[in-house]
Chain A
Amino acid sequence: MKYTDYYAALGVERGASADEIKKAYRRLAQKYHPDVSKEPEAEKKFQEVAEAYQTLKDPEKRAAYDALGSRPQGEEFRPPPDWARQHGGAGSERFSFDDVDFGDLFSRFGARESMQGQNFEVPVEISIEDAFRGTTLSLSLSMPEYDANGQLRRVPHTVKARIAAGAIDGQRLRLPGKGGKGFQGGRDGDLYLDISLKPHRLYRAAGHDLYLDLPLSPSEAVLGATLEVPTLAGPVSLKVPPGTSSGRKLRLSGRGLPKPRGGAGDLFAVAQIVAPAEPSERERELYRELADNSSFEPRRHFREEGT
């Protein structure tokens, strides 16, 4: 395992008082708490700070930590053979440090009564197609579990979860009892999945609605057209009314993401008039002729006063 310098994590001296440790923790926790912080890597930093505080705030754990000596951060090491016996309490005779994370070394303190298993929250990214059709996720997780001594060990688990059609960005799912195992009769923790949708080549999702850019040529915009547009269920025909300007949203009802209890969001095709970058000489000629004969004034409102 790798040594972690908890004093450095909190930015305090090794001889810091309990009060100094508490103050340092509060300052850093407010800065990095993932529920309120927008700092980069807030979650990782908060975990480091919280792990350090969990150990240093408890005199028994702090003494056990100090007994490991001061080492460079990240140094590969194993606790001395008699350390577990001196600092681990009962049941430590046949103790092994295999599969134990440094941060879990101190979990046995106070682990005498029953404890609820840890809750786990996992961010999961799925494609818009998977959200549309539903998917089965196979998650490989390394979950801390208490052994008979109350020592936390990392145990690999594969959790398979069927995500029915209809998940949207920000959807949360609860898998009861699939978090860490409870200790001595404590209930098992829960696993939470925090769903987000991967960016898509064509569609942008907002809740159950989808937005699709619909490039139109100037003539299609003026004259109207019947076009084929892609939807998640396959191409459909869309009627673009004559006189469609950029930004107009053409709604394809029920062609968005399905809702879990029936129904579906809408697909909006957002008109975007695109000019040809390299028109042919003939096209240029026709546009010139059109310009000479058109009374269309798109900027008339610039001149109007008092509106």
Chain B
Amino acid sequence: MTIETEVLWLDEHRVVSLHELVEISGLREAELLELVHSGALPVRDAAGGTYSFSARVVTVARTACRLRDDLDLDTRGLGVALKLLERVHDLEEEIARLRAQLPGR
């Protein structure tokens, strides 16, 4: 069976609502809001009390959901874990960028 399919880019150009993020990530709204307030989930726009996010955040929220389910972390633990993972990710990206500039042979 072959399925031709819709492909959504999880990048900064695409915007997802809080409602969508709840549906996609598996986290509850209250958990997402707590992560937002702790600074672990960056908000793109908070106008009129309605939150929207860059689609990049979908990956972060899904990771949070896995960590909650698999490691039994509470929201505070998730906030810390996400911030550390973000730092690791930024450092890995920086290393990759520096490596790319090193002569290949």
Which residues, 202 to 218 on A, are CB-close (under 8 Å) to B? 204-207, 209, 211, 213
A171 touches B85 (CB 8 A): no
| Among A26, A36, A260, contact of B81 (Cβ-Cβ < 8 Å) | A36
B1 touches A158 (CB 8 A): yes
Residues of A within 8 A of B37 (CB): none
Known contacts A33-B70, A35-B66, A206-B97: A175-B104 contact under CB 8 Å: no
A211 touches B81 (CB 8 A): no
Which residues, 16 to 36 on A, are CB-close (under 8 Å) to B? 26, 29-30, 33, 35-36
User: With the chains together, A169 CA to B89 CA distance in Å?
Assistant: 12
Q: Closest residue of chain B to A174, judged by CB? A: B8
Residues of A within 8 A of B96 (CB): 169, 206
A163 at the interface (CB under 8 A from B): yes
Known contacts A35-B67, A161-B5: A261-B104 contact under CB 8 Å: no
Residues of A within 8 A of B71 (CB): 26, 29-30, 33
Residues of B within 8 A of A211 (CB): 100-101
A204 touches B104 (CB 8 A): yes
Q: Which of B9-17, B27-35, B42-50 contacts A (4 or more CB under 8 A)?
A: B9-17
Known contacts A26-B72, A172-B59: A213-B9 contact under CB 8 Å: no
- The interface size of chain A toward B, counting residues with CB under 8 Å, comes to 42
User: With the chains together, A169 CA to B93 CA distance in Å?
Assistant: 10
- A-B pair count, CB < 8 Å, reads 91
Residues of B within 8 A of A207 (CB): 93, 97
Q: Chain A's nearest CB lies how many Å from the CB of B43?
A: 19
Residues of B within 8 A of A249 (CB): 101
Residues of B within 8 A of A198 (CB): none
Residues of B within 8 A of A205 (CB): 100
| Among A26, A164, A173, A204, contact of B10 (Cβ-Cβ < 8 Å) | A173
Known contacts A35-B67, A207-B97: A163-B7 contact under CB 8 Å: yes
Q: Chain A's nearest CB lies how many Å from the CB of B19?
A: 14
Q: Chain B's nearest CB lies how many Å from the CB of A109?
A: 18
Main SS class of interface, A? strand
User: With the chains together, A161 CA to B58 CA distance in Å?
Assistant: 20
| Among A26, A173, A204, contact of B7 (Cβ-Cβ < 8 Å) | A173
A270 touches B101 (CB 8 A): yes
Known contacts A158-B1, A161-B5: A171-B104 contact under CB 8 Å: no
Residues of A within 8 A of B6 (CB): 175-176
A35 touches B3 (CB 8 A): no
A173 touches B101 (CB 8 A): no
Q: Closest residue of chain A to B3, judged by CB? A: A159
Q: Which of A36, A209, A213, A260 has the most CB of B within 10 A?
A: A36
Q: Closest residue of chain B to A203, judged by CB? A: B100
User: With the chains together, A178 CA to B1 CA distance in Å?
Assistant: 12
Q: Chain B's nearest CB lies how many Å from the CB of A189?
A: 11
User: With the chains together, A131 CA to B7 CA distance in Å?
Assistant: 15
| Among A33, A36, A160, contact of B4 (Cβ-Cβ < 8 Å) | A160
B5 touches A178 (CB 8 A): yes
Mark interface residues in B64-84 (1 if CB within 8 Å of A CB, else 0): 001100111000000001000
Residues of A within 8 A of B1 (CB): 157-158
| Among B4, B9, B58, B103, contact of A272 (Cβ-Cβ < 8 Å) | B103
Sampled A-B contacts (7; CB under 8 Å): A30-B71, A158-B2, A161-B7, A175-B6, A204-B100, A206-B101, A213-B105
A→B interface (CB under 8 Å): 26, 29-30, 33, 35-36, 46, 50, 119, 157-164, 169-176, 178, 190, 192-193, 204-207, 209, 211, 213, 249, 260-261, 268, 270, 272
Given contacts A160-B4, A174-B55, 9 further A-B contacts (CB under 8 A): A29-B70, A35-B85, A36-B67, A169-B96, A174-B7, A174-B24, A174-B58, A204-B99, A206-B97
